[in-house]
Structure 1
Amino acid sequence: MPGDINALEGAPRLRAGAAPWRGGLGWLALFALLAVLPLLLGEQGQRFYIELLSKVMIMAIFALSLQLLIGYAGLVSLGHAAYFAVAAYATAMLAPQAGPGNGWLLLLGALAAAAALALVVGALVLRTRGVYFIMVTLAFAQMVFFVFHDTRIAGGSDGTYIYFRPEFDLLGARPFDVNDVAHFYWLVLGALVLTVAGLALVLRSRFGHALVGIRHNEQRMRAAGYATYRYQLGAFVVAGTFAGLAGYLYAIQYGFVNPEIASWHQSGNAMLMVILGGAGSLAGAVLGAFSFVLLAEWFSTLTRHWQLLMGGFIIVAVALLPHGLVSLARVLALPRARRGQGESR
């Protein structure tokens, strides 16, 4: 039987997984602010800004799912968009064309499709390591892209539509209507809260501690009796399922899906969000998603060559803050701490 991971001599403790809970007040403040924003915004610009923030939060869920692999399991995947896209396509293909479908059943179908694909892909790619792992994940994602792009399964390169947004009945009542932008916004916010809370609980569990141990020293964890392949496969499936949740919400928001959401650009954007915000931090993934999407929106209003501005910002941010934007407060506080130490002497 495997021993206690933290009891192993020199074993890494789960600093990163516990950090979000030490900053619990910060999470509460963020979620409270996001919850009241639709009430604070004026009606003139409400629709645009609420839809934009809904998109940002969906991308934050997507980045959080990849953070589990990159930041905690040490698995750099360049094919994470495949699970996002499969869930979005499953939502579109399962949604009835004659009227609104059951949102809960569509959610189950989308998550099941994403989890099943992640299980199959993970079982194969986890037999490789290093750059081979990165390239094989990319290859599988491109296979998914070409399945949707080059076949007539779901509209080919033109994509497919969801003609009616689903309904979410709860105990015979309908607490929210996703055709209302504010209601859909709160639905996405609830999904983001559940994603952060769910991943934080996973990382604080024995499973999460084992993942961090495997990331730091896989051979030692094997010697301690841990089935590292199973733990990594479990992380792969969990990450794919949360990516599927983001894809499901994306499909509902736009009512349209096309093969581009399965392209390597989508996986690359998620990886940039994780790197920009800070690998190994749930808060970093959320901060990276907010920064990336909002800056992209702003830069695109300034010039059609906005990718140059975005690329320059990312290069400068990574150079100055190698641990991501989430470390900015700590970096700014460092000079004051040093001054305080000097005065005490």
Structure 2
Amino acid sequence: MHSSVPLAAGAVAPRARWRGDWLAPAAVAVVLAFAPLVLETYYQELVMKIVIYAIFALSLELLAGTTGLVSLGHAAFFGIGAYATALAAPQYEAGSPLLLLGLSMLAAAAYALLVGALSLRTREVYFIMVTLAFAQMAYFVFHDTPIGGGSDGMYLMMRPVLKAGDTVLADFEQPLHLYFAALGLLVLCYAFLALVLRSRFGHALAGIRINEQRMRAAGFQTYRYKLAAFVLAGALAGVAGFLYVSKNGVVNPELLSWHESGAVLMMIILGGLGSLRGAVIGAAAFVLLKEFYSSEALLGPAIAGRWQLTLGLTMIAFVALLPKGLVGIGRRFSLKRGRP
């Protein structure tokens, strides 16, 4: 005979926790999978842009939201992943997306290992400045040398094609093929990070964010944990870089600039730090707001030409009114309805 044990106040039943963590993201993924049936080409391109930046935001969420490592140089891994794809791609034939994706992740992870090994020996504002310095170094390497075409960047002459023998499984020249590849990678990255956060490694990272000194006293080698998270975040940013150049067919040094690092940091703040869903929601909101404020058809040339100002004011308003980000709105409604 099994005795039932009541849940403590505030505890979440496993089934309820599963629904909260997986049901809503799975529903969104299903909707996006059927979206091309009703969306025009422009809106498909917009959704694909959101998906790419959502992966980029998820990679930084692992650092800033989970581990408490605020980086202003995360765009370096995004750009290096994109450049690695363009440099490794054959010039006169389509490359393998699996090979190019692996190389982009490897290149981004390798630079993340170098940056993390040195920058993680500093803390707080010094860590932020060191990561920014490394990103600017990478930026000027591609901007001022002929490695990646200088300030003009370089083109991906032929987009990747996935084959099994003579059978073409996915041709990234076809927008729908690239759309579903990007969506699939977003689902994989989200699911992977969700599993990581539930693992012992993920709990250790959360502990480091809350009280690193106590974690060291408990016997955890926090430097190694942070370095592993840094490298993993860099590799995931490389995934976004691979998709970016596969979609646009061009890469330039601006992808490594501090503007991109600041933009992705604003995404996770807008969505809500400490939440994978918040990173995805923040990326979507940021891209849509930027698209809206820069639209001359909707706002006219006077306002659209100053979209940075209006977007900045909007970000200030969001931070002031929603300190927990957009994901906090859903949590607030759940609490009002009596959900844990």
Please, what TM-score do these two structures have when normalized by structure 2? Answer: 0.90
Q: Which residue of 2 aligns with 1:4?
A: none
Whole-Å separation in 2 of the counterparts to 1:317 and 1:259: 30
Q: Which residue of 1 aligns with 2:252?
A: 258
Deviations 1:305-336 (A, max 9, x none): 11122112111111111000001123345566
Q: Which residue of 2 aligns with 1:38?
A: 36
Whole-Å separation in 1 of the counterparts to 2:320 and 2:332: 13
Q: Do the aligned partners of residues 221 and 335 (structure 1) sit closer, same or farther apart at CA in structure 2, a change above 3 Å counting?
A: closer
Q: Which residue of 160, 163, 187 maps to 1:166?
A: 160
Q: Give the RMSD, CA atoms, in angstroms.
A: 1.8
Q: Which residue of 2 aligns with 1:67?
A: 61
Q: Secondary structure at the match of 1:26?
A: helix
Q: Do the aligned partners of residues 336 and 282 (structure 1) sit closer, same or farther apart at CA in structure 2, a change above 3 Å counting?
A: closer
Deviations 1:239-280 (A, max 9, x none): 000000000100111110000000000000000000000000
Q: Which residue of 277, 284, 287 maps to 1:283?
A: 277
Q: Which residue of 1 aligns with 2:106?
A: 112
Q: Secondary structure at the match of 1:153?
A: helix
Shift of 1:175: 2.3
Q: Which residue of 2 aligns with 1:184?
A: 178
Shift of 1:34: 0.4
Whole-Å separation in 2 of the counterparts to 1:238 and 1:160: 27
Q: Which residue of 16, 23, 26 maps to 1:25?
A: 23
One-letter code aligned to 2:131: T
One-letter code aligned to 1:199: L
Shift of 1:108: 1.2
Deviations 1:196-253 (A, max 9, x none): 0010111111100000011111111111111100000000000000000000100111
Q: Which residue of 2 aligns with 1:212?
A: 206
Q: Do the aligned partners of residues 126 and 21 (structure 1) sit closer, same or farther apart at CA in structure 2, a change above 3 Å counting?
A: farther
Whole-Å separation in 1 of the counterparts to 2:291 and 2:185: 23
Quick check: 1:20–1:200 contact (8 Å CA) kept in 2?
no
Deviations 1:126-179 (A, max 9, x none): 000010000000000000000000111111001001110011124663222211
Q: Secondary structure at the match of 1:174?
A: strand
Whole-Å separation in 2 of the counterparts to 1:39 and 1:298: 23
Q: Which residue of 2 aligns with 1:298?
A: 292
Q: Which residue of 2 aligns with 1:331?
A: 332
Quick check: 1:67–1:282 contact (8 Å CA) kept in 2?
yes
Q: Is structure 2 residue 267 aligned with structure 1 residue 273?
A: yes
Q: Which residue of 1 aligns with 2:242?
A: 248
Q: Is structure 2 residue 97 aligned with structure 1 residue 99?
A: no
Quick check: 1:149–1:259 contact (8 Å CA) kept in 2?
yes
One-letter code aligned to 1:32: V
Please, what TM-score do these two structures have when normalized by structure 1? Answer: 0.89
Q: Which residue of 162, 175, 193 maps to 2:187?
A: 193
Q: Which residue of 2 aligns with 1:6?
A: none
Structure 2 regions of 5+ residues with no counterpart? 1-10
Q: Which residue of 2 aligns with 1:310?
A: 311
